[in-house]
Each structure stands twice: as structure tokens, then as C-alpha cells.
């Protein structure tokens, strides 16, 4: 049976793409599709987040991008400034469902945080997740400030009747400071959902084969790996 998992974050530049790639790599015995509804900040021809996931995770991954806007802004703003049609939640849901007919796992990677606007009507990734009845994996930073942002994201999910599958730290320092160490215990408490992994800082710069080989060590068994909080 195919599964659709939405990957969101507590903000931007916190490791959503590398976490998405790690989940895809850990599912190497399955047919995986990665759907990026709105890619911003890139011109045509530049490799986007979906392509980066495929590079890191392996050849079993199909990369799909619905729309691209050149300026590094929220999708709604970037679409409006470019004079292009925005991405609508129903389009995201339709694309994900179509991919699910041909793949075992579909990963839908958002842009920025959960409530970043897709269009001027205020539609967000959360609306697409609701249309899909899909669980949401939250990517969070390791350090100071992450608890509040994670709690707010989890609260937003609950208020919309969405399932927070868990939290993954998107960039865990090799030598974590006090806040990062304490957050290993505190993140699942504030999220009301399990901590399901910690991807090492710099993992996205690894060659694809090395990244794919290490991915299972960074994720908990629920995501196809062997990671445990005490073993970070």
C-alpha cells in the first residue's frame, strides 16, 4: 500500500531537503517519489530541492517539481512578483495521489514553514496535507529557539486535525552545545510527537553514495532506520 508523507519545517534553511533525502534513502527497497510543490529562488535549468533529494538518495527516487519561481521568497509572493500562477493545494494533492499510484512512498516537501502561503488566498502546505489526509513530519533545528517554533508548528497541525508523525533534527552539530543536547529530550515533549532522527550537520555535502549509506543511521526505525535518541 502506498504512503504519502508531507515534510514540513519550523522555518527555512533548517534541513528539510536533507531530511527528505534521508527518508527517501532509507526506503531504498521501495519506489519513492519526491514532490516539491513550489521551488523558489532558482531560475530554469538549475537543480532544485527535488533533484537534490534524488542525487543524495539514489536512483530509486523520482523527482517532481510542480512550479518554479525565480526570487527567493514565499511561494505566493514569488509567484505574484513573477506574474505566474501560484500553486494551489488541490494541485499538490492531485499530483501526490497520481504519484502514489506508481510509487510505494511519496514525500511532499514544503517550502519554508508549515503556514507559508502558496497563494494570495492564504492556502498553505497544511491545506494540501489535509486534502491528502497525510501525516506531517516536522524538521526542526537543533539549538536554542527550536522548542518554541516546534511547539507552534505542532499546535498548528493539531488545530487543523493533522497528524504530526514526529520530529527530525535537520542539522545536528558534531559537537552539540548545551541547548542542542537538552533539546534531544525536550523536542518530543513540546511537539507531542516522537523524535525520529537527527541528520548530521554537513550531510548534504556528502557524495550521494555516502549519504545513502549513512541515512539509516540518522533515522529512527519508524522511518526505516536504526537511530535512537541515546545514540546520537
- Residue 171 assigned to a binding site: yes
pLDDT at position 231 is: 58
- Residue 110 assigned to a binding site: yes
Active site residues: 36
SS3 call for 223:
helix
Judge contact between 97 and 68, C-beta under 8 A: no
pLDDT at position 5 is: 98
Chain segment 157-170, per-residue pLDDT in tens = 999 999 999 999 99
pLDDT at position 114 is: 97
Most confident of 9-13, 43-47, 128-132: 128-132
- Residue 17 assigned to a binding site: yes
Q: What number is the average pLDDT over the span 17-42?
A: 96
Cβ neighbors of 132 (< 8 A, separation 6 or more) are 4, 6, 92, 93, 96, 97, 108
How many structural domains compose the chain?
A: 1
CATH of the domain at 173: 3.40.50.300
- Residue 111 assigned to a binding site: yes
pTM metric for this prediction: 0.95
Supply the range of the domain harboring residue 55.
3-231
Q: What number is the average pLDDT over the span 84-111?
A: 97
Angle at which helix 208-218 crosses helix 49-57, to 10 degrees, equals 90
Amino acid at each position: 500500500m502506498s504512503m504519502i508523507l508531507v515534510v514540513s519545517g519550523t522555518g527555512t534553511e533548517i534541513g528539510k531537503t536533507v531530511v527528505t533525502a534521508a527518508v527517501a534513502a532509507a526506503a531504498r527497497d521501495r519506489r519513492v517519489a519526491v514532490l516539491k510543490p513550489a521551488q523558489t529562488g532558482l531560475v530554469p535549468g538549475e537543480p532544485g530541492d527535488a533533484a537534490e533529494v534524488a542525487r543524495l538518495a539514489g536512483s530509486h527516487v523520482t523527482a517532481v517539481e510542480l512550479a518554479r519561481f525565480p526570487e527567493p521568497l514565499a511561494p505566493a509572493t514569488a509567484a505574484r512578483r513573477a506574474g505566474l500562477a501560484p500553486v494551489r493545494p488541490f494541485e499538490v494533492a492531485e499530483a501526490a495521489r497520481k504519484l502514489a499510484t506508481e510509487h510505494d512512498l511519496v514525500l511532499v516537501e514544503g517550502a519554508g514553514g508549515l503556514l507559508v502561503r502558496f497563494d494570495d488566498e492564504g492556502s498553505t502546505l497544511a491545506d494540501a496535507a489535509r486534502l491528502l489526509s497525510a501525516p506531517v513530519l516536522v524538521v526542526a533545528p537543533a539549538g536554542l529557539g527550536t522548542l518554541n517554533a516546534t511547539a507552534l508548528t505542532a499546535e498548528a497541525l493539531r488545530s487543523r486535525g493533522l497528524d504530526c508523525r514526529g520530529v527530525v533534527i535537520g542539522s545536528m552539530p558534531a559537537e552539540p552545545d548545551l541547548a542542542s543536547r537538552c533539546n534531544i529530550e525536550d523536542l518530543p515533549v513540546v511537539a507531542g510527537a516522537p523524535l525520529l532522527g537527527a541528520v548530521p550537520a554537513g550531510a548534504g555535502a556528502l557524495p550521494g553514495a555516502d549519504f545513502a549509506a549513512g541515512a539509516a543511521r540518522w533515522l529512527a526505525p519508524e522511518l526505516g532506520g536504526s537511530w535512537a535518541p541515546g545514540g546520537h
